[in-house]
Every structure is written in structure tokens, then in C-alpha cells.
Amino acid sequence: MENKQLRKKKRLGSYPFISVVFSITLALFVMGLFGILFIHSHKLSEYIKEQMEVQVYLENRLSESQIMGIQKTLASKEFTLIKEEQPQLTFISKEQALEDFTLQAGENPETFLGHNPLRDAYLLKLKPQYLDSANLNQVKMEIEAINGVFEVNYLDSIISEINRNTNKIGLILIGFFILLLITVIVLINNTIKLALFSQRFLIRSMQLVGATGMFIQKPFLWRSMGHGFLAGIIASVCLLGLLEYARFQIPDLNAISDAMQVLMLMGGLIVLGAAIGFFSTLRAIRKYLNMSLDQLY
């Protein structure tokens, strides 16, 4: 009975896996947190851009059919933002514009000008990829070429500032992501190397009885992939629970959430855990296979 337990403890490829799985799970969880931050920051940037509006002012004395024709033309343009199969296009009549101006300024310009100086207009939202200087200029020229359009205005300075800040944040996050990825790989690699340290004499014993390198490596590689896979699942479940809790506490997060990207991130964590476990184990095993007996002590 005692010999059977001893053989079980020394079975090839077996080593204390709880600490390994815990370390890999912790590393993947931290990496997943950063990934979720990156996804939400990107979606937040898109959400802010989608709120930006281009003012399309119309010529005076247009008929209702001409105004509707301009609306159909704008709705069909490639740059027009579509949400829930509806073009994000709002008509503001000059009467409504005058009423809003009067409420904001506290003074009606029609009383001393004798007429309404404002124009009918469309507030148009653009797709985020069109919100840069080059594309905005092209969009402006294209809209102003439409018959019945008087002028196109947009807040160029605000849009440029948003783009600059978005690019800076994106570069910073990518830099931190690369640094974190390197740290995670080194951490998992060292954890597995320490876990396999207790198996170095068993590996040498197998070599001495004629076992091939592939025969010795195979059980270690399968186990390490399983441990990495399990750690990825645990980390993903923890991240999903944390994300659902955050959404419950902050309902506005739903506006910038992307379920598909989050699922892709979790799948990536599972694959990454298995891959790092495999290659870290392969590197450590080959190191012990090539060591001399003196170096093992």
C-alpha cells in the first residue's frame, strides 16, 4: 500500500498544480482587467464621437418636398451614422431654432430685426471613422454640393481635441498592455519552472532507463496545457462576475459595453493560458533534459 502511494506521488508529469493554477489565474485575471479597460475605453471614445453633430443649414424658401429630398439624400450617404436601422438625422425648423435661442439668450431677435434670422437645419451624426480633419472636410464639401444646402458647420476644435486625446490614451494603453503581457509570460514561466524543479530527478531517472525526450515531455505538456486552460476559464468567470457587478452598480456602462469583444477577450485568455503553459513547460523540461547530473543538485 505504501509503495503504491509512493508511485502515485512520483507519477511522471505530476506536481503540485494548485499553486500553478492560482498563479496563472491571477496573472490572466489582471491581464483580463486591463483588456476590459481597453475595450471600454475604445467604446467610450466611439460613444463620444457618435454624439458629435454636424449642422446642415438649408436655403430659405424651400418647399416641403425639397426639404424631404435633402433628408433622403443625407440619410443615404455612407458617412451617416445608422443605429437600430435608423439614420441619426434630426430636422430643426427655423421656428423651433428661434424658440430655443430665445430660451437660452433670454431675448427674441425677431422683435428688433423684424424677421427670423435663423434657418431650417438638419443635425447629422457621422460614423466615428469619419470624424477626422481630412474626412470632415470631404463630408462638408459633399453635403454643401447638395441642392438646397446653404452651409455646413461643425466644432472642428472639439473634434480635433477628442481625436488627439483618444490617440494618446490608445498609445498609452497599448504600451501598458505589451508591458503587462511580458510580465505575465515571465511570471507564468517562472511559476511553472519552480513547479517542475521537484521533478528534475524523476526526469533524469526516466532518461537513464531509456525513455525518449518526447515520452518524458508529453505528460508534462498535456498537464500544463490543462492547467493553463483551467486557469483561463477561472479568470474569465471571475472577470464576467466582476463586469456584471460593475454594470449593476453603474447602469451607464451598458451604453459602452460590447458583449462580443468581451467574449473574444475571455476566449483569448483561455487560449493564452494554455499556450503559455505549454511553451513554458516545454522550455523548462528541455532545460532539465539537457542538464548534467551535477547541475541537477
Most confident of 1-10, 197-206, 210-219, 222-231: 222-231
**What's the whole-number average pLDDT of the chain?**
81
Give the residue-averaged pLDDT of 163-181. Answer: 81
Give the residue range(s) of CATH 3.30.70.3040 domains in the chain: 53-154
Residue 28 near residue 127 (C-beta atoms within 8 A): no
Residue 177: CA count within 13 A, CB half-sphere? 14
**pLDDT at residue 5 above 70?**
no
What is the assigned CATH class of domain 53-154?
alpha beta
**pLDDT at residue 14 above 60?**
no
**Confidence class for position 4, pLDDT limits 50, 70, 90:** very low
Residue 165: CA count within 13 A, CB half-sphere? 12
* More confident site: 187 or 200: 187
pLDDT of residue 297: 54
Question: Would you give the distance in Å from CA 206 to the centre of its chain?
Answer: 46
**Confidence class for position 10, pLDDT limits 50, 70, 90:** very low
Q: How far apart are CA 237 and CA 250, in angstroms?
A: 20
CB-CB neighbours of 67 under 10 Å: 16
pLDDT of residue 2: 41
**Confidence class for position 57, pLDDT limits 50, 70, 90:** very high
Span of 8-22, 60-74, 86-100, 142-156 with lowest mean pLDDT:
8-22
| pLDDT tens digits, 237-284 | 999 998 888 888 887 777 777 788 889 999 999 998 898 888 888 887
Distances (CA, A) of 173 to 31, 34, 167: 12, 8, 10
